[in-house]
């Protein structure tokens, strides 16, 4: 029979004999079919015969090889070939059989299905070939009508799918056995939880973060009233252990775990994974963050896994550990934060006089963890807890309430800053290391405390935070006005955020004049915050809070954008070439995209970069000189000018001043106002002389009198700014002012 006759046999058949197939479900997956034949026409007619075929919801993707060598290369390149339609006789009489042997013996591929096709019946014994090479089918080309070819292909794909499923189940079961063996070896809540989180994360291909929560009695005497607490966590979230679920700062964890304890339903989606561990009436739940995409899940294998974990949960007698874990720190075995709050509740109602609460915070503990490793950090915490117990005695309550924070309740004759600092004078042993450490203290006297343990802890935290910000002292006693200040500060920050988002802030401008010509050559952009009735909150009040909260990054970007837009409008209204100076803070510099944002803002405004000046302070430079200098060099490449503001007030190093890519020095108003006495005049003269020597433009701020103007002009100062010329003003008033000049 000729090739044409064979091809006709493939194409023209009685379609009543075709098997009805499932329609395409729209899946993007395909079955890869490799056609291996040295006759190109066989490829064409085979693909044509199967082109409209969909098997189990998937289309077919055809790969083509015209020799045994090409076939092997394609098989090595494509790892998911389901079926190979393999010609026996190609470059040699047994080329196809050699390919089949190499697939099974050398490549070790036992899932791909092979259908041998030959145009020479009887060339290879059918029985021995199928047996020796694990062939799915062996047919002559004349036998393979379209209907039979379709049936053979469906059978082969089904076989391939079953083998793949079995192999996956085998792999999953091996993983489950190994993971459960490891989990079974754990003997405490912390290590059990870490092992479970790691095992489930590996099974679901997640990042390995998560917590284990359980409901435990509120106290030893209560069995019915329970609270949900974190009893275990991944390595990076150990500080959460012992905390109440409702105290966490992660709303998703609180919501999803709370929902589970109400519904008892497992949840697995792209954002949250909530898996129960329940056996013999005991309940715990594992929460893992999702990876933002749909998880491929074999529910049968997962249920087997969870069942084995639950068995391990019971076998290590975790429920006996849960009560202990609920109120004890897993590392130091001291009372944890939850128990410390309970003890503070008792402390409030006790009749003992002179008691005091103290929080002890280890300074730079994160540096120890980063530099020497978490194991050394853990040993250090154990060493600290042991010494505190030895030195402060049995009458003092000691707890570990945070990663590097210890809580203490005791008599004020014992719990004093001097006594606690003395305890930390000697270095601590941590394995092979001897580590000197310092601590910061926040203290709260009983007479000034609340009637709630949680509130007392908050008050002690307020005093601790104040102590951390103190330059001279490393301890603070709580005073009610501290809380008032904190509340006021948070209120200001909230209002600032609200007003900024509502675009209630304003940019005003103070003109700058040339001493030589007396004409306005620029202006400084100044942020103003109106609060109604013509009142404004001082920048000295809200700018530091904006920097503290990080809001200054967004506000600063808006001020720059608005200032450049207004300056471009002045260009268009007949006041060209004016330079606008905009202040920049350290949080803006620390923003990795700061330089790019400046560049983009200038481009969007259409203003020449040479009309833009960024002002920095000496204190900003000293905070991180290298980072600031590197950023300013990039700013200068854009053509933007740089000025140092309030010069002479920041005690800066002249070596850094020499490295800064500056265009202008601004003499601080404090020196200008003091220029009427001999010492003040000398300072101003020195600053201006230094500026000239460095070939920098000089500007004096805060000029308010004709005498100050005359003095600065006599010293060769280039530019002037101050109330003597003009106060800061909104844009509309600036236009009027410029028209009057």
* Per-residue model confidence as pLDDT tens digits over 342-387: 888 888 777 666 689 999 999 989 889 888 999 999 999 999 999 9
DSSP-based three-state secondary structure for 85:
strand
Reply yes or no on whether the pLDDT at 721 is more than 60. yes
CATH code: domain of residue 474: 3.30.70.270
Provide, rounded to the nearest whole percent, the portion of the chain with pLDDT above 70: 88
More confident residue, 168 or 52: 52
433, 372 in Cβ contact below 8 A? yes
Q: Do residues 223 and 133 share a domain?
A: no
Nearest-angstrom CA–CA distance, 596 and 549 = 22
Mean pLDDT across 259-266: 88
Reply yes or no on whether the pLDDT at 101 is more than 50. yes
Number of Cβ within a 10 Å radius of residue 173: 13
CATH code: domain of residue 120: 3.40.50.2300
Mean pLDDT across 13-28: 38
Question: What is the predicted pLDDT for the residue at 8?
Answer: 36
- For residue 286, tell me if it sits in a domain: yes
Pick the last residue of a domain from 106, 136, 168.
168
Pick the last residue of a domain from 293, 327, 361.
327
- The helix (H) or strand (E) run that includes residue 511 is strand 506-514
Using pLDDT thresholds of 50, 70 and 90, give the confidence band for residue 635: very high
- The helix (H) or strand (E) run that includes residue 182 is helix 146-184
Q: What is the pLDDT of residues 451-492, one digit of tens each?
A: 788 888 989 999 999 898 877 789 999 888 887 777 888 888
Report which listed range, 147-156, 199-208, 355-364, is most confident: 355-364
Question: What is the predicted pLDDT for the residue at 319?
Answer: 54
Question: What is the predicted pLDDT for the residue at 350?
Answer: 74
Mean pLDDT across 681-685: 90
Q: Do residues 362 and 301 share a domain?
A: no
Pick the last residue of a domain from 284, 301, 327.
327
Reply yes or no on whether the pLDDT at 717 is more than 90. yes
In eight-state DSSP terms, residue 22 is P
Question: What is the predicted pLDDT for the residue at 650?
Answer: 55
Nearest-angstrom CA–CA distance, 438 and 436 = 7
Tokens 């275990």 appear where? Answer: 232
Mean pLDDT across 601-625: 88
CATH code: domain of residue 522: 3.20.20.450
Instruction: List beta partners, residue 52.
Output: none
Number of domains observed in the structure of the chain: 4
DSSP-based three-state secondary structure for 163:
helix
Q: Do residues 196 and 159 share a domain?
A: no
How is residue 620 written in tokens?
Answer: 């900003």
Using pLDDT thresholds of 50, 70 and 90, give the confidence band for residue 57: confident
Using pLDDT thresholds of 50, 70 and 90, give the confidence band for residue 302: confident
DSSP-based three-state secondary structure for 216:
strand
Reply yes or no on whether the pLDDT at 136 is more than 80. no
In eight-state DSSP terms, residue 591 is S
Q: Is 336 exposed, middle or buried (0-12, 13-18, 19+ CB in 10 A)?
A: buried
Domain that holds residue 63: 3-168
In eight-state DSSP terms, residue 360 is E
DSSP-based three-state secondary structure for 29:
coil
Instruction: List beta partners, residue 411.
Output: 355
Reply yes or no on whether the pLDDT at 499 is more than 80. yes
658, 608 in Cβ contact below 8 A? no
Question: What is the maximum span of the chain, computed from C-alpha positions, in angstroms?
Answer: 119
- For residue 18, tell me if it sits in a domain: yes
Q: Do residues 422 and 280 share a domain?
A: no
Rg (CA), the chain: 39
- Sign, CA dihedral 193-198-199-201, equals positive
Q: Do residues 378 and 401 share a domain?
A: yes
Nearest to residue 357, comparing CAs of 446, 239, 232, 243?
446
Q: Do residues 438 and 500 share a domain?
A: no
Q: Do residues 200 and 135 share a domain?
A: no
Nearest-angstrom CA–CA distance, 76 and 62 = 16
Q: What is the pLDDT of residues 214-234, one digit of tens each?
A: 887 765 444 556 788 898 899
Angle at 106 between CA 104 and CA 111, to 5 degrees: 35
Question: What is the predicted pLDDT for the residue at 352?
Answer: 61
Nearest-angstrom CA–CA distance, 623 and 586 = 8
Q: Do residues 15 and 130 share a domain?
A: yes
Q: Do residues 536 and 671 share a domain?
A: yes
- For residue 175, tell me if it sits in a domain: no
Q: Do residues 474 and 515 share a domain?
A: no
Of 2-11, 262-271, 492-501, 618-627, the one with minimum mean pLDDT is 2-11
403, 369 in Cβ contact below 8 A? no
Look over the chain and give the mean of its residue pLDDT values, rounded to a whole number.
85
Q: Do residues 599 and 735 share a domain?
A: yes
On the CB side of 583, CA atoms within 13 Å amount to: 21
How is residue 80 written in tokens?
Answer: 């998911």
Mean pLDDT across 106-126: 76
46, 19 in Cβ contact below 8 A? no
- Sign, CA dihedral 5-9-14-15, equals negative
How is residue 23 written in tokens?
Answer: 């329609």
């Amino acid at each position: 029979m000729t090739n044409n006759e064979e091809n006709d046999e493939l194409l023209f058949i009685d379609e009543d004999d075709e098997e009805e197939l499932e329609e395409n479900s729209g899946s993007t997956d395909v079955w890869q079919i490799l056609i291996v034949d040295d006759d190109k026409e066989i490829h064409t007619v085979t693909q044509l015969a199967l082109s409209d075929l969909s098997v189990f919801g998937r289309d077919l993707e055809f790969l083509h090889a015209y020799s045994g060598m090409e076939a092997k290369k394609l098989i090595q390149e494509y790892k998911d070939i389901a079926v190979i339609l393999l010609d026996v006789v190609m470059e040699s009489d047994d080329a196809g059989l050699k390919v089949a042997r190499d697939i099974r013996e050398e490549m070790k591929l036992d899932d791909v299905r092979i259908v041998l096709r030959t145009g020479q019946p009887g060339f290879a014994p059918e029985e021995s070939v199928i047996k020796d090479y694990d062939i799915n089918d062996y047919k002559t080309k004349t036998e393979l009508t379209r209907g039979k070819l379709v049936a053979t292909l469906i059978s082969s794909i089904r076989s391939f799918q079953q083998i793949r499923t079995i192999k996956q189940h085998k792999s999953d079961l091996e993983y489950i056995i190994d993971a459960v063996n490891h989990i079974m070896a754990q003997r405490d809540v912390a290590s059990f939880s870490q092992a479970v989180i790691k095992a489930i994360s590996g099974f679901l291909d997640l990042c390995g973060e998560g917590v284990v929560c359980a409901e435990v009695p509120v106290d030893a005497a209560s069995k019915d009233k329970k609270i949900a607490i974190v009893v275990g966590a991944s390595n990076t979230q150990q500080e959460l252990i012992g905390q109440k679920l409702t105290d966490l700062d992660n709303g998703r964890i609180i919501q999803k775990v709370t929902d589970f304890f109400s519904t008892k339903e497992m949840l697995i989606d792209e954002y949250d994974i909530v898996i129960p561990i329940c056996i013999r009436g005991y309940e715990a739940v594992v929460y893992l963050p999702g990876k933002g995409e749909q998880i491929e899940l074999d529910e049968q294998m997962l249920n087997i896994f969870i069942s084995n974990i639950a068995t391990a949960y019971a076998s290590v007698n975790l429920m006996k550990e849960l009560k202990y874990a609920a109120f004890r720190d897993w590392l130091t075995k001291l009372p944890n934060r939850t128990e410390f709050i309970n003890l503070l509740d008792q402390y409030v109602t006790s009749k003992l006089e002179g008691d005091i609460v103290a929080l002890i915070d280890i300074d730079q503990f994160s540096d120890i963890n980063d530099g020497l490793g978490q194991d050394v950090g853990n040993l250090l915490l154990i060493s600290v807890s042991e010494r505190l117990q030895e030195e402060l005695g049995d009458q003092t309550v000691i707890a570990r309430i945070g990663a590097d924070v210890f809580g203490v309740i005791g008599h004020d004759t014992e719990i004093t800053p001097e006594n606690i600092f003395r305890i930390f004078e000697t270095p601590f042993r941590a394995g092979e290391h001897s580590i000197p450490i310092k601590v910061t203290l926040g203290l709260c006297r009983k007479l000034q405390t609340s009637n709630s343990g949680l509130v007392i802890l908050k008050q002690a935290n307020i005093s601790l935070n104040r102590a951390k910000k103190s330059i001279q002292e490393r301890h603070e006693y709580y005073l009610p006005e501290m809380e008032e200040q904190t509340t006021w500060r948070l209120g200001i920050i909230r209002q600032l955020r609200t007003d900024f988002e509502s675009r209630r802030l304003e940019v005003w401008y103070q003109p700058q004049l040339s001493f030589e010509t007396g004409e306005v050559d620029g202006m400084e952009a100044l942020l103003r915050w109106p609060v109604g009735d013509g009142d404004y909150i001082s920048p000295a009040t809200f700018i530091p809070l904006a920097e503290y909260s990080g809001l200054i990054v967004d506000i600063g970007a808006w001020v720059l954008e608005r200032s450049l837009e207004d300056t471009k409008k002045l260009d268009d209204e007949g006041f060209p070439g004016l330079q606008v100076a905009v202040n920049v803070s350290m949080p803006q510099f620390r923003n990795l995209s700061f330089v790019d944002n400046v560049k983009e803002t200038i481009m969007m405004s259409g203003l020449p970069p040479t009309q833009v000046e960024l002002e920095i302070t000496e204190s900003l430079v000293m905070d991180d000189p290298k980072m600031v200098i590197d950023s300013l060099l990039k700013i200068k490449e854009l053509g933007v000018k740089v000025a140092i503001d309030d010069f002479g007030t920041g005690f800066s190093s002249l070596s850094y001043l020499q490295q800064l890519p500056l265009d202008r020095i601004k003499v601080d108003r404090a020196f200008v106002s003091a220029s009427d006495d001999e010492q003040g005049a000398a300072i101003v003269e020195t600053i201006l002389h230094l500026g000239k020597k460095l070939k920098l433009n000089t500007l004096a701020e805060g000029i308010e009198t004709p005498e100050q103007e005359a003095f600065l002009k006599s010293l060769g100062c280039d530019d002037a700014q101050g109330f003597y010329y003009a106060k800061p003003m909104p844009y509309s008033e600036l236009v009027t002012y410029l028209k009057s000049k």
